[in-house]
Amino acid sequence: MDHPLGAVGPVRIVLTPDDFDARRAFYRDVIGLEVVEEFDGDEGILFRLAADTYLELLRPATATVAGLRFALHVADADAAHATVAAAGAASGPVEVMPWGHRSFTLTDPGGVHLTLFEPVGDDEP
């Protein structure tokens, strides 16, 4: 059976820590994770955990959703939105983010935020 959202691409675990600088230093300097990208003048950082699995840290002022969330790369944000809506899940609208993703967020039954995103333009993790 095909997955209802289509092929899910890279997975991101996204944290919005109160002390961004301490967390960034920990994962970069202590743990030694590979830095894939730094966002918008020090507003966020993307680390590679494994093939197609990433840890993203965002400053609280940058994040649209605070705390912990998972972000799944989907091929078509509109189709994914239609799929979750047809299954009865409430979500926000598909929006174009300043960094070029088309995305929407919903909440799982345990309260964890899940963002489904489609990069627009460049292929990126």
Q: Tens digits of per-residue pLDDT, 21-70? A: 999 999 999 888 899 999 877 889 999 998 889 999 988 877 666 677 88
Q: What is the CB neighbour count within 10 angstroms for residue 92?
A: 14
For tokens 């333009």, name the residue: 121
- Residues 115, 113: Cα–Cα separation, whole Å: 7
Q: What is the dihedral of CA 120, 37, 13, 91, to 10 degrees?
A: -30
Q: H-helix or E-strand containing 37? A: strand 34-39
Nearest to 63 by CA among 89, 45, 36, 81: 45
In terms of pLDDT, which residue wins out, 61 or 13? Answer: 13
**Which residues are CB-neighbours of 115 under 8 A, at least 6 positions away?**
14, 65, 69, 70, 71, 72, 103, 104, 105
- Rounded average pLDDT over 118-122: 79
Residue 100 vs residue 125, higher pLDDT:
100
